[in-house]
Structure 1
Amino acid sequence: MSNSPFLRISGAVEGVAPDAGVAAHYGEPLREQRALARGTAVVDASHLGVVRVAGLDRADWLTSLCTQVLTVGGHGESLILSPQGRIEHQFAFADDGECTWLITEHDGASPLAEFLNRMRFMKQVEVTDLSGERFVFASMGAMAALDGISDAVVWDDPWTGIAAGGTQYAAIAPDEHPGTRYRMRFTIVSAEDRDRLLAAARAGELTMAGMLALEALRVAAWRPRFAREVDERALPHELDLLRSAVHLNKGCYRGQETVAKVHNLGHPPRRLAFLDLDGMDGRLPAPGALVRDGDKPVGRVTSTVLHYDEGPIALALLKRNVDPRAALRVDLDLAAQVADGAVAESEAGAPEQVDAYQTVIVAPDAGDAAQMAELRRKFRGQR
Structure 2
Amino acid sequence: MTETAPSPLLGLPGAVADEGGIAAWHYGQPLAEQRTAIERGAVFDRSDRDVITITGAPRLEWLHSLSTQHLTSLKPFEGTETLFLSPTGRIEHHANVFDDGETVWLDTEPGAGEALLKFLQLMKFRTEVDIVDATGEWALLTVTLGAEDSSPEPVHQPVPVAKFAAKDLAAVPTAVLPGKAVPDMGWIRRTDALGVHTVDWMVPRDDSLPGTVEQMEQAPAGSWAFDALRVAAKLPRFGVDTDEKTVPHEVAAWLASAVHLDKGCYRGQETVAKVHHLGQPPRRLVRLHLDGSTEPPPAHGTPVTLGEKEIGSIGTAVQHYEDGQIALALLKRSAAEKPDQEFETGGQTAVQ
TM-score (norm 2): 0.83
Aligned residues with identical type, % of pairs:
42
Contact 1:24 1:210 in 2 (8 A): yes
Rounded to whole Å, the distance in 1 between the matches of 2:184 and 2:216 is 22
CA deviations 1:132-166 (Å, max 9, x no partner) are 1111111125546987232322233375xxxxxxx
Give SS of 2:348's match.
Answer: strand
Contact 1:92 1:155 in 2 (8 A): no
Partner of 1:374: none
Does residue 152 in structure 1 map to residue 186 in structure 2? yes
Rounded to whole Å, the distance in 2 between the matches of 1:203 and 1:67 is 38
List runs of 5+ in structure 2 lacking aligned partners: 146-175
Give SS of 1:304's match.
Answer: strand
Does residue 287 in structure 1 map to residue 300 in structure 2? yes
**Match for residue 344 of structure 2 among 315, 329, 335:** 329
Partner of 2:60: 59
Contact 1:304 1:313 in 2 (8 A): yes
How much has 1:110 moved relative to structure 2? 2.0
Contact 1:182 1:218 in 2 (8 A): no
Alpha carbons of structure 1 residues 201 and 158: separation in structure 2 relative to 1, 3 Å? closer
How much has 1:226 moved relative to structure 2? 0.5
How much has 1:12 moved relative to structure 2? 1.1
How much has 1:281 moved relative to structure 2? 4.6
Q: Which amino acid aligns with 2:312?
A: G
**Match for residue 124 of structure 1 among 124, 128, 149:** 128
Contact 2:183 2:212 in 1 (8 A): no
Give SS of 2:297's match.
Answer: strand
Does residue 112 in structure 1 map to residue 106 in structure 2? no
CA deviations 1:219-274 (Å, max 9, x no partner) are 00011110321211011111112111100111310000000001110110111111
List runs of 5+ in structure 1 lacking aligned partners: 160-178, 332-352, 359-383
Contact 2:180 2:216 in 1 (8 A): no
Does residue 270 in structure 1 map to residue 283 in structure 2? yes
Q: Using the TM superposition, name which of 285-294 and 2-11 deviates more.
A: 2-11
How much has 1:107 moved relative to structure 2? 1.1
How much has 1:279 moved relative to structure 2? 0.5
Partner of 1:308: 321
Report how many aligned residue pairs link the two structures.
313
Rounded to whole Å, the distance in 2 between the matches of 1:314 and 1:293 is 16
Partner of 2:23: 22
Give SS of 2:240's match.
Answer: helix
Q: Which amino acid aligns with 1:54?
A: T
Rounded to whole Å, the distance in 2 between the matches of 1:102 and 1:8 is 27
TM-score (norm 1): 0.77
CA deviations 1:36-85 (Å, max 9, x no partner) are 12352101111101111111101111101000012241310000000000
Does residue 137 in structure 1 map to residue 146 in structure 2? no
Give SS of 1:139's match.
Answer: strand
**Match for residue 224 of structure 2 among 191, 212, 216:** 212
Root mean square deviation, CA, Å: 2.1
Alpha carbons of structure 1 residues 158 and 233: separation in structure 2 relative to 1, 3 Å? farther
Contact 2:294 2:348 in 1 (8 A): no
CA deviations 1:111-132 (Å, max 9, x no partner) are 2122112222222211101001
Rounded to whole Å, the distance in 2 between the matches of 1:204 and 1:99 is 26
Does residue 238 in structure 1 map to residue 269 in structure 2? no
Query: Aligned runs of 1:178-217 on 2, under 5 Å?
Result: 181-192=195-206, 195-199=207-211, 205-217=217-229
How much has 1:9 moved relative to structure 2? 2.0
Rounded to whole Å, the distance in 2 between the matches of 1:47 and 1:145 is 28
Rounded to whole Å, the distance in 2 between the matches of 1:250 and 1:61 is 14
**Match for residue 354 of structure 1 among 338, 344, 348:** 348
Alpha carbons of structure 1 residues 62 and 204: separation in structure 2 relative to 1, 3 Å? closer
Query: Aligned runs of 1:57-96 on 2, under 5 Å?
Result: 57-70=58-71, 71-73=74-76, 74-96=78-100
Give SS of 1:138's match.
Answer: strand
Contact 1:80 1:89 in 2 (8 A): yes
Rounded to whole Å, the distance in 2 between the matches of 1:203 and 1:108 is 31
Partner of 1:252: 265
Contact 2:69 2:260 in 1 (8 A): yes
Alpha carbons of structure 1 residues 198 and 246: separation in structure 2 relative to 1, 3 Å? same
Alpha carbons of structure 1 residues 95 and 224: separation in structure 2 relative to 1, 3 Å? same
Give SS of 2:95's match.
Answer: strand
Contact 1:239 1:272 in 2 (8 A): yes
